[in-house]
Amino acid sequence: MATGKKLSEISWQEFKALPLAAKGDYFQGIPPHTLIAQQFSRTRLEELCTLATKIKRINKRRDGANFLKTLLSDKRAMLYFAQPSSRTYLSHNAACQILGLDTMDVRDTKTSSEVKGESPEDTIRTFSSYADMIIMRHPVGGFAERVAWMLAHTNREIPVLNAGSGADQHPTQALLDIYTLARSFEKTGGIDGKHIAFVGDLMRGRTVRSLAWLLTLYKDVTLYFVAPEPLQISPDILELLDQAGTQYVITQDFASVMPIADAVYMTRIQDEWDAEGESCTIDTSDFSIGAEHMDILKDTTVIMHPLPRRSEISTDIDNDPRAVYWRQMRNGMWIRAALILTTFGRQDEANQYYDDYKPQA
């Protein structure tokens, strides 16, 4: 939804000082950027989920897959991943291939002219000379916003898609998590009214920070933040939940939450952000899940994880129908395809094809 607010008309200092919800208004124009979870409305989430399912169904047949490949065959995407990634990189790349976009990448800043002293800003401007979209992961929180703002002040403002920034945001992961929750609860009334538990390193887990916000868009959800005290969710997220009127519980008692949770969202310890290996001294043994817990969970509970996992989910439960983390990962490819297609405003052609041929699940 266009708000009329333009990144090109605000100074960086003014923009930086805005609250998150107000920043979102600047990302909805032409081109639309995807930078923070706070820019999404429930309507937009529902549109993306519906489109993701349509793309998935169209892609099942060869003629459908060939049609999809024509949709963005005039575009090129730059994948700039200055931090390690398996799924986010691969699923964006696969989403681009589904839609016919060519991709280029830099996955290691040591192979770019940044080693010659080129600034990250000039590096991005260089990418924008060759690409029509930048999909980027960066260790510096807020850097993707800075990039979008900077490009808005050039004659080549191309869309920027945040594929994970610092320890603060991972908006496209939150989209695939919403898609997974929505599909999992399709027959049980959807996400509204559900009890969703987040477990692990909630202080530094950017996926939880983005998803917690998106869940404020659903009615009567209750969020449980289950973590050792030093890794508990930060006050800034609780403030947003308070403002949105979303119910939450903060606890270290995973055992008491297990029987009531409709979804359990596990996370790993994000020790890459440790200053001196301090995470090793925290007892995290009560914040994991395995075969011994399966009888305590409801039969309908879904177990999620953004991945990669370490020992917080035992491989013993991988084949339990409630373990949806592998499906969750694949969902990322479909919702990212939907996001990229709408970023270029080409969704009508896919919707029309779907209506004409009605591909089935």
User: Using CB under 6 A as the criterion, which residues of the chain lie in contact with ligand ASP when the complex forms?
Assistant: 164, 170, 206-207, 267-268, 306, 308
Let me know if 134 is exposed, middle or buried by CB neighbors in 10 A (0-12, 13-18, 19+): buried
CB of 88 vs ligand CP, minimal distance in Å: 3
d(CA 23, CA 166): 18
- Return the one option of ligand CP, ligand ASP, none that residue 86 interacts with (CB less than 5 to 8 A, by type): ligand CP
Range in contact with ligand CP (rule: CB under 6 A) among 23-31, 87-95, 216-224, 318-326: 87-95
271 belongs to the binding site for ligand CP (CB under 6 A): no
Residue of 87, 204, 268, 336 with catalytic role: 87
**Quick one: which of 211, 267, 218, 208 has its CA closest to 247?**
218
Task: Show the site string, 151-180: x = touches ligand CP by CB under 6 A, - = not.
Answer: -------------x--------x-------
Residue of 137, 195, 204, 336 with catalytic role: 137
330 sits in which H/E element = helix 325-343
d(CA 200, CA 284): 8
92 belongs to the binding site for ligand CP (CB under 6 A): no
Is the CB of 32 or the CB of 164 nearer to ligand ASP? 164
d(CA 16, CA 234): 20
294 contacts 312 by C-beta, under 8 angstroms:
no
Tokens of 33: 């950027």
343 belongs to the binding site for ligand CP (CB under 6 A): no
C-alpha dihedral, 232 to 234 to 239 to 241, nearest 10°: -50
Is 88 known to be catalytic? yes
d(CA 182, CA 332): 13
- Return the one option of ligand CP, ligand ASP, none that residue 206 interacts with (CB less than 5 to 8 A, by type): ligand ASP
- Return the one option of ligand CP, ligand ASP, none that residue 268 interacts with (CB less than 5 to 8 A, by type): ligand ASP
Largest CA distance in the chain: 59
Is the CB of 24 or the CB of 200 nearer to ligand ASP? 200
Is 156 known to be catalytic? no
Catalytic residues: 87-88, 116, 137, 170
Q: Which residues bind ligand CP (CB under 6 A)?
A: 85-89, 164, 173, 306-308
